[in-house]
Chains A and B, each alone.
Chain A
Amino acid sequence: MNSSLDLKKLLAAAIGTNSKADWTGLREIQETFHHRYYRNEKPENEDTSRTHGVMVEVRVNGHYAYSCTPNLTDAGVRAAAERAREQALRSEKFKVFAFSPKTRPTSQGKWKTKIQTPLNAHSPSQWSDALIRACESLKASDKVVQTVAYARTDETFTRIVDSNGTDVTQEHFRVASHFEATASHGGVVQSRSDHGMMARTRQGGLETLFTSDLYDRLQQVGADSVELLEAEDCPSGVFDVIIMPDQMYLQIHESVGHPLEYDRILGDERNYAGNSFVQPHDFGKLQYGSPLMNITFNPELDGEYSSYAFDDIGNPAKKEYIIKDGILIRGLGGLESQERIGLPGVACSRAENWDRAPIDRMANLNLEVGTSSLDEMVRSIDNGVLMKSNRSWSIDDFRNKFQFGCEYAKKIENGKITKTLKNPNYRGISTQFWRSLKMLGDESTFDVYGSPYCGKGEPNQVIRVGHSSPACLFEKLEVFGGGH
């Protein structure tokens, strides 16, 4: 994937001969999505979506303004630059902060996702054959009334150039999928999916989707959906709970990632996504979780959904500890937020596309592995529950009180996994919850997930996030079942 655009020529057009801006930058994005959705072995959607455009950004007296256009001629980009400059000049006296030139670093470099099998390696008929086979695999019995097989591939070309000599190119290739079986019998309806809605997300080629165990895994998903029909409802009460990585990923996202975003702490998100219980003085002091808890911002992990070498303002990205031995040490903020809040952050100024401005985003945020095997965790529990695969989520605007629901659970009694439970849920308060982390799974329990759909920002943006985690044992959680 390459752009035919001469972006440096367009930059020259944007700057012009009489620019009133102190700095001018261009961010070009060319992105292609393929969506393939099959239900009950029948095609429902076969869609391709392409977008190509540029954001012109200027800084005037420490104040940024932007203008976005798909008109990639000299005249189109020049007009966009003029609009950006005019807005910067007219609103400059009302700016929230006077940003320094350091907020747009000078960077050069290229980066590309490692892939084995290109995303376009399959013909349309190979795709339909594969997704029909996926539906067939999910159809475990006549009680399965619906099967869904959905695959989304996307490729993104990004190039950033600016008036200081920045020239950064990145190419991302990604695959996300959702496979689900719904079973129904006697008025009971249960769905089970391949690790939760769109949680199986990867950077890479088709090798990340068509793994050797794919169809076996889907047969198990179908069988699980039928098994849930006969399962008892999850009991209500206080239990020790083992949470598997396909639920942990969203727990990390909602109760660690979002509250640590500097733009929430600074109030930018107060009118939409919300605020944070974390305050600037908490960094370096707050006991966020038990000493087992180590959270890293890690854009360097091959294959995770939001790995990159530079964020969307060209800031080089590297792994950083966010929470170390349970203590909060660093927040999630890009260079603009770091200047405003006066704390170190990470390279996480990210934008959904060419028509949205970069804001603080969590990218890959991971819980580092511990030393316990799953068997050791189970054996340590007298009366508990093991939960898998997210199906419901909600948290308050300060990121304290959460509630999650899962697709599938097992009862643990006297150190052994016993019966299957349906409709498992738990609720808690973020720091109390993380301080109750009692055992942390080892490498054998570790897995990588993510989401294409993290929503935030005004104007609104969805962005891709990646989260990896081992299985975790939490003490004394409030657990409950489903129903009316």
Chain B
Amino acid sequence: MKPTLLVDRKYFFELGGSLFAGLRGDERLTLNLVEETTQFIRINGAKVRQIGCVENAHLAFDYRLKKGDALVKCGYSVTLTGERTTDSETLKAAFNQLRTQATELPIDPFSTEIENFGQSENVFCGELLPFSDAAERLPSLMNSLPITGIYSAGTSVRANMNSLGQKHWFETDHFSFDYSLFTPENRMAKGYYSGSKWDDGVFRSNLESTHSQFSQLTKPVQSIEPGKYRTYLSPMAVAELLHMFSWGFLSEGALRREESSLRLVRQGKKSLSPLVTLKENFKRGLVPSFNHLGELAPEEIKLFERGELENTLVSRRTAKEYGVTSNAASGSEAPRSLEMEGGSLKEADVLSSLGTGLYLSNLHYLNWSDQKAGRITGMTRYACFWVKDSKIVGPIENLRFDDSVFGIFGTELEALTSEAVLIPATGTYSNRDLGGVINPGALLSTKNFTL
């Protein structure tokens, strides 16, 4: 049976309606709901380390007060309980505090008038394991494999409404099992199983496919000296690099504030490879296309087309500050549904194309080592191999890299694999992430390893 939400669609819109009814003519209000009912099962060595359920619903107010032609803006978020009397009192207290606070705050010159961007409703029903079943069934399906990871399953909601009549509701049932299989020497292979319809057979096949990497992991370990090597990055490794684009790289605001190295591309000082075509793709429906203001993003936003910068991500606030046009980006101007097109390298030809070099299945703990110059450092992780004459010799000791984003996705990018695959977003900070990134693997002519 599907778990019950604390705040369903009807209740959310009723709560909003009662707040909007009390607004004065100079007040504007937008509400954003982030809600989930989730079961978490934490696995270590195919055993249950921690198991639990979380029901949570955060409602955030975005309050704007008109002062002449300008606006004052402030926000407040609360936890909803699903109990009408309690929630009504909580919301009333929060709203009154916002009203009082706003009278004392200075004008926010880059705040924009809210608009009615319309209405949308997307409900994706899945076939998930019932909470009670999963507690027994998941460990038994692992069949004593050396497995560690986290199973998350349940219903997630993102909803938005404003005092001008805008209403959006996005609800999805989804699960993910983010796991590692490890050898007795603690060498590991990474796997994911995610979706909206649980299937025991598909899960077993997924585990077996990941487990098949063990034949390579148990070969003698290779110690590789720091230096420059031809390198293949699997789709999971490329996804880690693309994740760095969430930290200001594609943001128009960050570019204007000279925080993003993308300014070097706009200035014509740096470029990406013609192999790189990158876009936001909301057609997949894995994440809502509305943002915190309820703006609906276009189905596609081309970011790079064959290496040429087409668009950055522009929020409504940035648009006002710099006199450009919003493309319904989030407040942080981070990508929400990123997709990188595949190339021409067939998966079967990866080793022969690599020849001699490094095959990296995953990267770990990436960070900008010089953000303004576009330099990234990070580590190899999991199943990473030394390849000689197109044959895997053995797993490597961890290596650190420190390289330019304009090398990795520019001068050093030799080929992309033909198939772009979904790497699901399995993060659970505050709440479960939605969606994921779609991208291919990448063959680099050289990559710089420093430690």
Contact = CB atoms under 8 A, between A and B. Distances in A.
Q: A and B from one assembly?
A: yes
B182 A44 contact: no
Contacts of A355: 54, 56
B373 interface: yes
A423 interface: yes
Interface stretch (B113-121, B147-155, B299-307, B437-445): B147-155
B436 to A, nearest CB: 16
A91 B41 contact: yes
A455 B429 CA distance: 8
Contacts of B52: 65-68, 84, 87, 357
Contacts of A237: none
A343 interface: no
B104 interface: yes
B19 interface: no
B139 A405 contact: no
A70 B56 contact: yes
Given A68-B55, A124-B105, A268 B365 contact: no
B398 A94 contact: no
B198 interface: no
A86 to B, nearest CB: 6
A73 B86 CA distance: 10
Given A91-B48, A394-B366, A76 B258 contact: no
A121 B377 CA distance: 43
B428 A484 contact: no
B74 interface: yes
Contacts of A95: 47-48
Contacts of B428: 458-460
Nearest to A254: B365
A182 B48 contact: no
Contact of A271 (B73, B180, B375, B404): B180
A42 B105 CA distance: 11
Interface in B360-393: 364-375, 377-379, 381
B109 A53 contact: no
A336 to B, nearest CB: 9
Contact of B131 (A46, A69, A83): A83
Nearest to A188: B372
A118 interface: no
B76 A49 contact: yes
B395 to A, nearest CB: 14
A128 B76 contact: no
Tier of interface size on chain A: 35 or more
Interface string B44-59: 1111111111111110
A123 B60 CA distance: 22
A483 B44 contact: no
Interface string B130-165: 011101100110000000111010000000000000
Interface in B48-81: 48-58, 60, 73-81
Interface stretch (A18-26, A381-389, A395-403): A395-403
The contact size tier of chain B is 35 or more
Contact of B369 (A86, A91, A268, A482): A482
A462 B429 contact: yes
Contact of A405 (B82, B149, B369): B369
Contacts of B398: 396-398, 400-401
A458 B48 contact: no
Contact of B400 (A66, A356, A427): A427
Contacts of A350: none
Contacts of A128: 104-106
B249 to A, nearest CB: 15
Contacts of B77: 47-50
A165 interface: no
Contacts of B74: 46-48
B372 A272 contact: no
A403 B369 contact: yes
Contacts of B152: 459
A12 interface: no
B223 interface: no
A48 B82 contact: no
B44 A394 contact: no
A397 B381 contact: yes
B167 to A, nearest CB: 23
B377 A71 contact: no
Contacts of B429: 455, 460-462
A71 B178 CA distance: 29
A484 B375 contact: yes
Contacts of B186: 270, 275
A64 interface: yes
Contacts of A259: none
Contacts of A459: 38, 40, 42, 54, 150, 152, 428
A271 B178 contact: yes
Given A128-B105, A397-B364, A43 B41 contact: no
Interface in A439-466: 455, 458-462
A20 to B, nearest CB: 14
B6 A71 contact: yes
Interface string A122-158: 0111001000100000000000011000000000000
A152 to B, nearest CB: 14
A103 interface: no
A360 B83 CA distance: 34
Contacts of A63: 48
Interface string B151-193: 0100000000000000000000000001110100010101000
A38 to B, nearest CB: 9
B319 to A, nearest CB: 15
Contacts of A49: 60, 76-78
Q: Which of B105, B258, B371 has its CB near the most chain A CB atoms (within 10 A)?
A: B258
A72 interface: yes
Interface string B401-443: 0101010000000000000000000011100000000000000
Given A396-B379, A425-B369, 5 more contacts: A84-B53, A91-B135, A96-B45, A394-B369, A403-B377
22 contacts: A48-B74, A48-B75, A49-B60, A80-B53, A86-B132, A87-B135, A94-B48, A94-B140, A96-B44, A146-B258, A267-B148, A268-B148, A271-B150, A355-B56, A394-B377, A395-B379, A396-B364, A396-B400, A397-B379, A403-B400, A427-B451, A459-B54
